[in-house]
Amino acid sequence: MVEGVTRAALTAEIVERRSVVAFDSRPIEAEKLQALVEAARWAPSSSNRQPWRITLVRSGESRNALNAALSAGNQQWAVNAPLLVVFAAVAPDPERPGQLPKLMLDVGFAGQNMMLEAVHQELRSHPMGGWDEGKVKAALGIPEENAVGFVVAIGYGGDVNDLPEDARPKETRERVRNDVGQNFFDGRFGQAWNG
Ligand SMILES: Cc1cc2nc3c(=O)[nH]c(=O)nc-3n(C[C@H](O)[C@H](O)[C@H](O)COP(=O)(O)O)c2cc1C
């Protein structure tokens, strides 16, 4: 395993994005919210179909219900974030039923664009797969034919000491990645890339 982030020649947003758990409840300014929306809007998608349906949830009844739809572990920290963003899509697309993986990839590109823009706006983020799909849909009124891909918490940094003790290590944990040759190949599948 490789420790830390390879900094050479990478954009600051890629280097600095990390999944954190200490969020301050301070609201995100309107211009920054707009930047997050625009960043996701300009993501690439297959045939430019823009399948993503993205709900930004700040407060109120739907936010309380969404908080409750998260896994217990995620609730420990994600409820403090001033913004939860739910990425969904009609899936499978009735016109392209065999293209489900590509469709969800498009949704993922939109999510990554938003998380990188969050860094650019001096915000932090954390994607989540830990939630109950039925409860998420019920919380936001998402129609049945949609699949929920992931939920992203976004906000300003907060004090990790405000979190329950067992949630704190995620804030400071060492970030690791596989050795490059494990996942990247040169010319032929399985032949390790080594530059
Ligand atoms: C689709 C997806 C689902 C994830 N689900 C959770 C989750 O439910 N809870 C959590 O704490 N982190 C979750 N993560 C965060 C990952 O654990 C994290 O991205 C990974 O450890 C790499 O760390 P980094 O984001 O800081 O680079 C998820 C990430 C992705 C992309």
pLDDT in tens, 1-53: 444 556 568 999 999 999 999 999 999 999 999 999 999 999 999 999 999 99
Q: Is residue 29 part of a domain?
A: yes
Residue 91 C-beta-side C-alpha neighbours within 13 Å: 21
* Residue 187 in domain: no
153 in a domain, yes or no? yes
Q: In sequence order, which residues have a C-beta less than 8 Å from that of residue 116 and are 6 or more positions away?
A: 13, 14, 17, 39
Q: What is the CATH number of the domain that holds 115?
A: 3.40.109.10
Residue minimizing CA distance to atom 30 of ligand 1: 127
Interval between CA 129 and ligand 1 midpoint (Å):
8
In a domain, 149, yes or no: yes
Provide the residue range defining the domain that includes 82: 19-176
Number of domains forming the structure of the chain? 1
Q: Is residue 183 part of a domain?
A: no
The answer to whether 110 and 98 have CB atoms below 8 angstroms apart is no
Note if the bond before 92 is cis, omega within 30 degrees.
Answer: yes
Contact 51, 90 (CB under 8 A): yes
Q: What is the pLDDT of residues 64-97, one digit of tens each?
A: 999 999 999 999 999 999 999 999 999 988 888 8
Q: Residue 83: beta bridge partners? A: 154
Ligand 1, pocket-test mutation among 126, 148, 177, most atoms within 8 A of CB: 126
Task: Establish if 68 belongs to a structural domain.
Answer: yes
Report in angstroms the alpha-carbon separations of 13 from 54, 57, 79, 104.
22, 24, 24, 23
Query: Does the pTM of the predicted model rise above 0.85?
Result: yes
* 123 in a structural domain: yes
Decide: 59 and 66 in contact? Cβ < 8 Å.
Answer: no
Q: Is residue 184 part of a domain?
A: no
Nearest CA, atom 15, ligand 1 = 127
Identify the sign of the CA torsion 106, 108, 114, 119. Answer: negative
- pLDDT > 80? residue 187: yes
How many whole angstroms separate alpha carbon 115 and alpha carbon 70? 19
